[in-house]
Structure 1
Amino acid sequence: MSRLSPVRRFAQAGACGICALALMAFAGRAAAGDHVVTIAQMRFSPPTVKVHRGERIVWVNQDLVAHTVSAQAKTFDSGSIAPGASWRYVANTPGSYSYQCLFHPAMRGTLIVEPKP
């Protein structure tokens, strides 16, 4: 059995170390059924996420700098999300919410919350 850490094994398999660390950090952050938005390369991916009322969204920061997830209508605000960290939000009010990173205003996304089916 190999004594290498999972990150080292991943890196030796041809993946970059930063990617391996980001994947390891993310592994425990999102539960089954969560909608995941990745923050990487100074953008939200996917840029638009559609959920039903009561569902949870997790934003995972894979960039090397901090970001925020801040609704323009001030309905939600993550505060600063450090590199390698995540933020969860439960969408309770139907509607369409534009959001951006307050540190990098060109980073924009949309959360669409639909009533429960």
Structure 2
Amino acid sequence: MSATLLAGVSDAAAKTYLIVIEQMRFDPPVLTVHRGDRVVWVNRDLFPHTASAMSKAFDSHEISPDASWSYVARRPGSYPYMCTLHSTMRGTLIVQ
């Protein structure tokens, strides 16, 4: 198989996961995905939030109310993240 074909097969297998930001928390608080999967954070609160990895692997910056931000997981590992505007809001993205 050619590299292009393999890339197409890989893309077809990728999934999209949703994390809802609501009532000052991330739901689900821990999410396990595979490399190549897309994670979408949707803000259903009345004020902005961020999804910022403590390792600096990803940073949404401010996600406005009723807006979303997505990230494609590329590197395996465990990525604790938080809302930099509300430090008690924490979650973990695990990439296999």
TM-score range, shorter chain: 0.7 to 0.9
For 1:105, the equivalent position in structure 2 comes to 87
For 2:37, the equivalent position in structure 1 comes to 55
RMSD over equivalenced CA pairs, Å: 1.1
Under a length normalisation based on structure 2, what TM-score does the superposition of the two structures give? 0.85
| Cα displacement (A) at 1:107 | 0.1
3-state SS of paired residue (1:100): strand
Structure 2: unaligned runs, 5 residues or longer: 1-14
For 2:19, the equivalent position in structure 1 comes to 37
Deviations 1:43-70 (A, max 9, x none): 0000000000000000000000000000
Q: 1:68 aligns with which of 47, 50, 57?
A: 50
| Cα displacement (A) at 1:34 | 1.1
Structure 1: unaligned runs, 5 residues or longer: 1-32
Q: 2:66 aligns with which of 72, 79, 84?
A: 84
Whichever structure has more strand as a proportion of its residues is 2
Higher relative contact order (CA 8 A, sep 6+): 2
User: Which has more radius of gyration?
Assistant: 1
Over 4 Å off, 4+ runs: none
Under a length normalisation based on structure 1, what TM-score does the superposition of the two structures give? 0.70
Equivalent residue letter for 2:33: V
State the percentage of identical aligned residues: 59
